[in-house]
Amino acid sequence: MRINRTFPLSLAIALAALPQVALAQERGEQGGEESSEGVRTSRTEVVPYIEAAQVVTAQLSPGDDVLTYTQLAAGVDTTIVGRNSAASASVRYEHTIGYGDASDVDTLSGIARASLAVAGRGLTLEAGGLASRTRVEGNGFSTIGGFGGNAASTSQIYSVYAGPSVQSRTGPVEISGSYRLGYTRVESPDAVVLTPGADPVDIFDDSVTHNAAVRFGVAPGTVAPVGLGVGAGWNRQDISNLDQRIDDKYVRADVTVPVSPNVALVGGVGYEDVQISSRDAVRDANNLPVIGPDGRYITDDSQPRTIAYETDGIIWDVGVMWRPSRRTSLEAHVGRRYGSTTYYGSLAYAPNSNSSFNVSVYDNITGFGGQVTTALNGLGTDFAAFRNPITGDLGGCVVGVEGDNCALGRLGSLRGSVFRNRGVVASYSMVSGRSSFGIGAGYDRRSFIGGEDTVLEGIDGLVDESVFVAANFNRQLDRDSSLFAGASASWFNAGDATLGDGMGYSASLAYNRDLLRNLTATAAVGLDGISRDDLPDFSTASALLGLRYSFD
């Protein structure tokens, strides 16, 4: 599936529109954010702004170039909380005017989540979107953001999803269902720095994702002492790279056994059918795969599809659920799926309305697009997105009191191949008085799947691993000034030893001062870099002076 060049503009409109739909519904409601007494109070914050800044970037290694450029930007930050709706978004368009060797660059970045409940009908509409700039290495390793006015090796990532969820009841039977339609696209990098003698990996292009699930169940103590349920699910992903396809269908029955008012044992058994297929690349006269002008393999549509992976049979899992209060929940499961042992679970702890701690352990088969939309779907609807004060890029984590707050931290490798994805991500967010703080960390493991007698055969079973950590801190110093600090780091271990490993890092510090009503001055410094095996390290130091005018 190909999307025309108007897609980034369409995505920008969609990102900005998500909270407005929630606002339209919230205006007709009473209630909103939950107070300490358990009563929800509405909250609406919509802050459009324009910015102008002058930036100087000094290359520390491998050279010593100094670049200067002007940033012109417009954006909006929005948070809306109602009784039956909630949405948060941070959307920004930036035009960089370079001087000398610096490039002129246009960048769209944003992240948004919205949830709109149709009162009294059990229907909720969910949507989310992401636009982000990332630096791409020859081994597929990606680091968030660019490096000053140098646009080389950078790419744009766009992702959006939407769909309904239903919660209903017929007598004692509870009915739940959901459907998500997602689209993700990665633009071709302008240039990729390669390890000597190595070929670049096939960078992900775009994909369409379908996820559907339905379940019928009865709670413990209704028709039986235990809870019983039966459900089914479908995961379909169509990836443009070599026409790869994931088709995963399952049915299962489950039981919930209460042990105490707060603890229950759970288990399930079912049947699953998974098939992964693709086509080969076009071959030249020497039987070598042909690479197109975008740096990706050209798919040979004249050849039949090749099965890369298939399995069907019994799946099962057992686990425990602990929910001592509405602010604490824990689930831990172990079982067998995809022909091997599987582990997954989650922990959500919110001691009060201003802080939260979340952990998620996951195991699935997906492509890069499916992984991004899943991370977006896990993001809460009430968050504050902090940006690098110099580049304007989003950080790896947002500050929110619910959900998985580190959607960007899980980007990892941009390989276009399907993979078994296992990992863990944890985040902590806190808002206290004049201060807000967020930190997240995660580990991601991807075992790639490729079919025999195709160009992907060489990566079958290859494992890429990445670790990330990101933190930000914001403090209102007094009535007119504030201080922001942010830092992130990621480590990447390529499964192919010829591609080399890497580490990316970024740190920034900004001082903001209100000059007049709605007019704020910013002074910031930052350090960005990447260290690579078999290649020179690359690092830059930057400084910014700018003005922002906010409309209210």
pLDDT digits 0-9 by tens, 247-305: 999 999 999 999 999 999 999 999 999 999 999 999 999 999 998 888 889 999 998 99
Name the more confident of 187 and 9.
Answer: 187
* pLDDT higher at 64 or 8: 64
Is 4's pLDDT higher than 60?
no
Instruction: Identify the pLDDT of residue 295.
Output: 83
List pLDDT tens digits, range 402-412: 767 777 777 77
CA distance 440 to 397: 6
Alpha-carbon gap, residue 246 to 415, rounded angstroms: 16
pLDDT for res 82:
83
Binned at pLDDT 50, 70 and 90, residue 521 comes out as very high
Q: Report the share of the chain in percent with pLDDT over 90.
A: 59
Please answer whether residues 141 and 194 qualify as being in contact, where contact means their C-beta atoms are separated by less than 8 angstroms.
no
Number of neighbouring beta carbons within 10 Å of residue 23: 17
Contacts of 57 (CB under 8 A, 6+ apart): 66, 67, 68, 69, 102, 147, 148, 149, 150, 540, 541, 542
DSSP state of 241: G
Backbone angles phi, psi at 314, to 5 degrees: -75, 135
Whether the per-residue pLDDT at 229 is higher than 60: the answer is yes
d(CA 403, CA 380): 4
- In this predicted model, what pLDDT tens digit does every residue of 138-183 receive, in sequence order? 667 777 655 555 556 778 899 999 999 999 999 999 999 999 999 9
Q: How far apart are CA 541 and CA 66, in angstroms?
A: 10
Of the given ranges (21-35, 151-165, 469-483), which has the lowest mean pLDDT? Answer: 21-35
Mean of all residue pLDDT scores within the chain: 87
Higher pLDDT, 332 or 402: 332
Give the least confident one: 218-232, 269-283, 482-496: 482-496
User: pLDDT tens across 437-469, in order?
Assistant: 889 999 999 999 999 989 999 889 999 999 999
Question: Whole-angstrom Cα distance, residue 7 to residue 185?
Answer: 10
What pLDDT does residue 29 have? 45
Please check the confidence at residue 492 and state whether its pLDDT lies above 90.
no
* Highest mean pLDDT pick, 57-66, 96-105, 166-175: 166-175
pLDDT at residue 217, rounded to an integer: 96
